Structure 1
Amino acid sequence: MFIRHFPGVLVTAALGVQAFSWPNDPYGQTELTPAPKGCWSPDSESKQFTLVVMPDTQYLYDQNRIHPVPMEHAFEYVTSCNDTRENIVFMAHLGDVAQNGLAEEYQVASKAFERLDEAGVAYSMLAGNHDIDSSTDDTRGSTPFLDAFGSKRFANSKTYKGSNKGGYNSYHIFRAGGREWLLLALDWRMSNSSFDWANEVLTNHSTLPAILTTHELVSPDTGKTEFSAYGDEVWNKLIKNHDQIFLTLNGHFWPAGRTHRTNSAGNRVDSHITNYQNRYYGGAGMIRLYRFDLDKNTIEVSTFSPWIHGLMKHGKANKLALQEASLTSDEDQFTMSVNFDKRFSRSNSTKTKRSDVKEVIPGTLAYWRFDGHENQTPVTSNDTIRDLSGHGNDLKFCGVNESAHHSMRWSNAHHPQQPGHGSLNFTGQKQPLRGSYFQTVDHAPINYAQFEHGYTFEAYYYLPSSWSSDQNAWSSILSRWGTAGQANKTGAGVDPDEPIVSLSLSDDRELQWRAYPLHKNVGSTNWGHESPFDTWWHVAVVNNGTLTKMFVDGCEVVRNPEQWVPGLTTLNQPWMLGGYEYNGTINQIFYGSIGDVRIVNRPLSIEEFLLHSCAGPTTSPP
């Protein structure tokens, strides 16, 4: 939908509606204003940061009554670099984007949100009762809302970590105050399977402080703010047993209000209603700021309309607008006290913190290490391996069948020169296929990386003498989902069923880097020598944008081809650690141990490797 102005007449092209437009009327303006160039660049390590909340905007997008300008001004405020004090790290919309759930309403609203997309702002969306059929739960299927604000919209988001099967519930992980935070964005009405999904997300990220957002939770209908009937269901099925949830936010009802409950761990959970659609100009694009100060253990809350403040600046705010510029009641402006260190001490106890990792050098896209676990304890489906680069390329557990459970273990064994003092012990075999592996989460940024300007892949590995050529040949340390055939590679020597990138071990335990570069139909192969048993090794594959070379323990191998191989082909699918696909299915799982793995988007010198010298072999049983 687009909207055009003619002198005295407003023509809404998609709706076919004509109406008189008062000249120079800032309140009747419905035209999308040119988007300013935002410079959103929050300081993720600062102890002071801001979460922005935007409640129901439905009256701004109501059939032929379309007024995106107040929302645009709110987004301009979020992306502005004029007030660095705010340090805005995330924005959460609370649902009811539009009034009638119509495609033409979301077409205009979606255009406004492009301002956030273009600036790279981290934000979340969820459906309110006006966005969908309110009599349905999140198994309802496709809707105009989901078409506009489903998972496809967040394909390039660095904070978006996934959605449930139906797509109406999602979660984000953002970094602020030197730590990671989890935000759940939940549907108007969750099905039982979605409650299971949300519980699993919280369990898998149990060390992260969590904020839960949804459209309905607490209500003022009884004269005081308390949980609604559906809110009680969410509390009992989800909130009360996950101590990491310290704050819930919802819209739907008015006036604004706040309450709190005590969870099963005996800790306080604050719950707030934020909604201003009943006020002048449909809420006037009102936003609420939650200003965190981790040094003071406070969250200062304020509520205002950036659009009205802009009108005031130019002397154009009318009497009713002036009353709405900033809201100062006890429900709209207040300070919360939260002892973050005490409440979330578990997330501070992690042995490896991003700020302490000197191995995260410029250009690092992903860095995984496996220390900090009790030796020989099983890896479970609830375990997630954090990307210490801070880019969100986390690894999730995967298994081929029931045998996957307890088939992988944490180990303290490692190469003496390995930064992380731990590894993963894999026990995969081919016949019958069994074992488990890890892969990058859906929409991890590295899934889309093409490495046009070069790359360095590094890994530590160990093969025990029980390794078998029959059972363990052609298993991968690291590989990328997607086959040569799916990537339309048709050149000489192409096996259409093999993966587009893999670092594997042959039946003679020779390292093989097999990769399909960008803009070429043929693959390229680097070969190492036979890997001796019961010895830790470091391998690095380095591409300078033209040639690729393999190094073992910092020493260049002989079988490096003289072949132009720019970048790496991607089908925008995950990377696997310890898994190998063939013809679109898992074909083999690693047997042995894998230590630290680092991926950098530029060629590194030998001096920059995780292993700093061409050292002799070192042995240590896993």
Structure 2
Amino acid sequence: MHENDDPCLAHAMASSASCADLHDHGDLTPRASRRGLLRTAGLLGAGALASTAMATPAQATPGWRPDQDNQRFTLVVMPDTQYLFDEDRGDSRPLDASLRWILERAGDENIAFLSHLGDLTQNGLAEEFAAIGKAFTVLDRAGAGYSVLAGNHDITSNTTDQRGNSPYLRTFGPARFKRAKTYGGSSPDGYNSYHLFSAGGRQWLVLALDWRPSTAGLAWAQSVLDKHAALPVIVTTHELAFADDSGAAHLSDFGRQLWDQFIARNDQIFLTLNGHFWPPGRTVLKNDAGHDVHVHIANYQDRYYGGGAMIRLYRFDLARGCVDVETISPYFQGLPAARRNELAELEIELTGDANRFSLDIDFPARFAGFAPVKPRDPRPASKVLVPGTLAYWRFDGTERAADLSGNGNDLIAAALATASPLALTAEHHPDQPAHASLRFSGGRNKGSYLRTVDSAPLNRLTLERGYTIEAFLKLPADFDAHAWCGVVTRGGTGGDTGKTGDDPDEPSATLNLSSGAELQWAVFPRNLNKISTNWSHLLPLNTWWHVAVVNDGTHTVMYVDGCPVLRNPSTPAAGLVTANKPWLLGAYHYANVVEQTFYGWLGDVRIVGKALRPDQFLNS
């Protein structure tokens, strides 16, 4: 039976109590054959399946030091553990195993925080809380960041957070957390709390709300959000949503009140987590600002062995803009296969859309309403003219053709028979010094481009001591019909300089793009009678990229957004050959005939007469 299928659900959810008070303590575990259970009854030794012993938590390595700047971190969620702490029934070892797993893997998983979703115990008795409180001391000793909250089984369920003293409050009230680094504070009644953890280069707020927050409790919660108005918020509470058998979540009657009165009004809240009901499920709701709020329910108490203190891992990846979610049981995972019975085998890891899934979240966009990312300010040319700069071009004003290095490598406009104008735009890479670009709309045998003047010193340089060529670019969605359009190309062919290997009609040097949007640097080095090429990976379209080709006088490495690509040749390549002809921006030539112009946006372009490190690039 699922709680939301119970006939008394509508009545109970409309009141301050719940059907869970009557029905979430029953034995709903799937039955195995008696022969199967007897055959594998040595789960943890004789009598383990019905053990009433409360094992002492294992000692863990002290110290809790998540990497706060890592763009990848993990939030651990633990729902209802009530059947593990049920008078003289239950078994604390599954919880011990989960807490030990969290501490042992805190570094590898970069675990930043743990949230328990309530119903820590079955009856809210002092002896039950003494047992689970003892288990959680392993986190206290390690200085781990975590939160707990009261579920309906932890307190008198028909009361609000104004209920006063209780075994829950004495065990997990403000006194327990006062020395915790992540603890922000509690409401005056002690039943609501907030916690701050740092991960992904920013702070996050976890708001742990009571089973039934009162008007005063919600006012306190609002004051917390008002005081931390720029922080993304995760709301944890015991009851908010239930799910149907398909895994689709729906707000309960109480959950609808909490949503309307509090969650929907606060755009900072992007994720809510609750237990109480089963099965697990999820949905996405729109708040009053029209933004997504992910609403998730996790509860495994109805599974074998009370859920075995199963945990859910929310692996945030800010670089990829996603959260990968996985549900596992460290307790059953940790048992040798020979000691796992047939039901335990089913609990090692849960799959399916309700328990293993990914969320795509554009974090900067989702948080822009309360914590906008300040765009990087433009930088004047004087700030990026590093020693050795030979030419620097940017397109943010009327001097778009001038070489801002002062070396006289100015650009002039050129066009094919079918010309198309170059358009100044405000489009730019977020880390580009100039907040502007040129839009090229050319193609094969048509379009316009730029070239250096005939007297430019750059035309005759061989750059034998090394070079760095950088450019910012963006390719339109329909780029595939514009293969081999040049980004930066040197005038003159390999044949013009005496190079006879490969195809001597190819340019002496060119940075261009395949139809698959792969960058290619193809060059006749001075020491080779053939073309040396570097290749990037396929570049996603409609995205700004920074490319740098770096030669140290011996080898050439291509970088995309400061990252070295795979296909860089190991054969030495020294310098560039020259026919003393102009360099082209936004064009490719073959046999000295310009036959293809660039299609897309070009931002700042810089050529430096030595190898630069990635931290010296224009996008650094």
Choose from 259, 271, 286 the match for 1:235: 259
| Structure 2 residue 75 is the aligned partner of structure 1 residue 55 | no
What is the CA distance between 1:329 and its match in structure 2? Answer: 1.2
What is the CA distance between 1:39 and its match in structure 2? Answer: 4.4
Match of 1:327 in 2: 350
| Structure 2 residue 123 is the aligned partner of structure 1 residue 113 | no
Give the aligned residue type for 2:260.
Answer: N
Choose from 274, 279, 298 the match for 2:298: 274
Match of 1:192 in 2: 215
Identical amino acids, percent of aligned pairs:
48
What is the CA distance between 1:84 and its match in structure 2? Answer: 3.5
Match of 1:203 in 2: 226
What runs of 5+ residues in structure 1 fail to find an aligned partner? Answer: 1-20, 353-622
What is the CA distance between 1:278 and its match in structure 2? Answer: 0.3
8 Å CA contact 2:324, 2:358 repeated in 1: yes
What is the CA distance between 1:66 and its match in structure 2? Answer: 3.3
SS of structure 1 residue aligned to 2:74: strand
8 Å CA contact 1:39, 1:80 repeated in 2: no
Distance 2:223 2:67 in 1: 30
Match of 1:86 in 2: 109
What is the CA distance between 1:38 and its match in structure 2? Answer: 4.4
Give the aligned residue type for 1:275.
Answer: N
Do the aligned partners of residues 194 and 296 (structure 1) sit closer, same or farther apart at CA in structure 2, a change above 3 Å counting? same
Match of 1:610 in 2: none
Distance 1:141 1:39 in 2: 34
Match of 2:324 in 1: 300
8 Å CA contact 2:44, 2:339 repeated in 1: no
Distance 2:262 2:84 in 1: 32
Q: 1:188-226: CA deviations, max 9, x gaps? A: 001111111111111211110100000000012697420
Distance 2:193 2:74 in 1: 21
What is the CA distance between 1:27 and its match in structure 2? Answer: 3.7
Q: 1:102-126: CA deviations, max 9, x gaps? A: 0000001001000100011100010
Match of 1:618 in 2: none
* RMSD, aligned α-carbons: 2.0
What is the CA distance between 1:348 and its match in structure 2? Answer: 5.1
Distance 1:284 1:242 in 2: 35
Distance 2:92 2:344 in 1: 16
Give the aligned residue type for 2:268.
Answer: Q
Match of 2:180 in 1: 157
Do the aligned partners of residues 257 and 338 (structure 1) sit closer, same or farther apart at CA in structure 2, a change above 3 Å counting? same
SS of structure 2 residue aligned to 1:249: strand
What is the CA distance between 1:22 and its match in structure 2? Answer: 9.2
SS of structure 1 residue aligned to 2:221: helix
What is the CA distance between 1:317 and its match in structure 2? Answer: 1.1
Choose from 342, 350, 357 the match for 2:365: 342
8 Å CA contact 1:40, 1:78 repeated in 2: no
Match of 1:316 in 2: 339
- TM (norm. structure 1) is 0.51
Q: How many residues align?
A: 330
What is the CA distance between 1:35 and its match in structure 2? Answer: 2.2
Match of 1:251 in 2: 275
8 Å CA contact 2:245, 2:279 repeated in 1: no
Match of 1:133 in 2: 156
SS of structure 2 residue aligned to 1:284: helix
8 Å CA contact 1:38, 1:80 repeated in 2: no
Q: How does 1:35-74 map to 2 (within 5 A)?
A: 35-74=59-98
Q: 1:368-392: CA deviations, max 9, x gaps? A: xxxxxxxxxxxxxxxxxxxxxxxxx
| Structure 2 residue 192 is the aligned partner of structure 1 residue 169 | yes
8 Å CA contact 2:314, 2:325 repeated in 1: yes
Give the aligned residue type for 1:328.
Answer: T
Do the aligned partners of residues 23 and 287 (structure 1) sit closer, same or farther apart at CA in structure 2, a change above 3 Å counting? closer
Q: How does 1:452-601 map to 2 (within 5 A)?
A: none
Do the aligned partners of residues 230 and 22 (structure 1) sit closer, same or farther apart at CA in structure 2, a change above 3 Å counting? closer
- TM (norm. structure 2) is 0.51
8 Å CA contact 2:69, 2:201 repeated in 1: yes
Distance 1:119 1:338 in 2: 32
Match of 2:389 in 1: none
Q: 1:347-384: CA deviations, max 9, x gaps? A: 354799xxxxxxxxxxxxxxxxxxxxxxxxxxxxxxxx
What runs of 5+ residues in structure 2 fail to find an aligned partner? Answer: 1-42, 377-620
Match of 1:220 in 2: 243
Q: Larger C-alpha radius of gyration, 1 or 2?
A: 2
Q: How does 1:333-482 map to 2 (within 5 A)?
A: 333-345=356-368, 346-347=370-371, 349=373
Q: 1:74-96: CA deviations, max 9, x gaps? A: 00011114x74311000000000
Q: 1:123-175: CA deviations, max 9, x gaps? A: 00100000000000110000001100000000111111111111100001110
Distance 2:207 2:158 in 1: 22
Q: How does 1:601-620 map to 2 (within 5 A)?
A: none
Give the aligned residue type for 2:179.
Answer: N
Do the aligned partners of residues 308 and 194 (structure 1) sit closer, same or farther apart at CA in structure 2, a change above 3 Å counting? same
Give the aligned residue type for 2:345.
Answer: L
Give the aligned residue type for 1:294.
Answer: L
Distance 2:374 2:49 in 1: 52
Give the aligned residue type for 2:222.
Answer: N
8 Å CA contact 2:57, 2:138 repeated in 1: no
8 Å CA contact 2:243, 2:282 repeated in 1: no
Give the aligned residue type for 1:98.
Answer: T
Distance 1:141 1:44 in 2: 37
What is the CA distance between 1:37 and its match in structure 2? Answer: 2.6
Choose from 303, 311, 316 the match for 1:287: 311
SS of structure 2 residue aligned to 1:182: strand
Do the aligned partners of residues 38 and 73 (structure 1) sit closer, same or farther apart at CA in structure 2, a change above 3 Å counting? farther
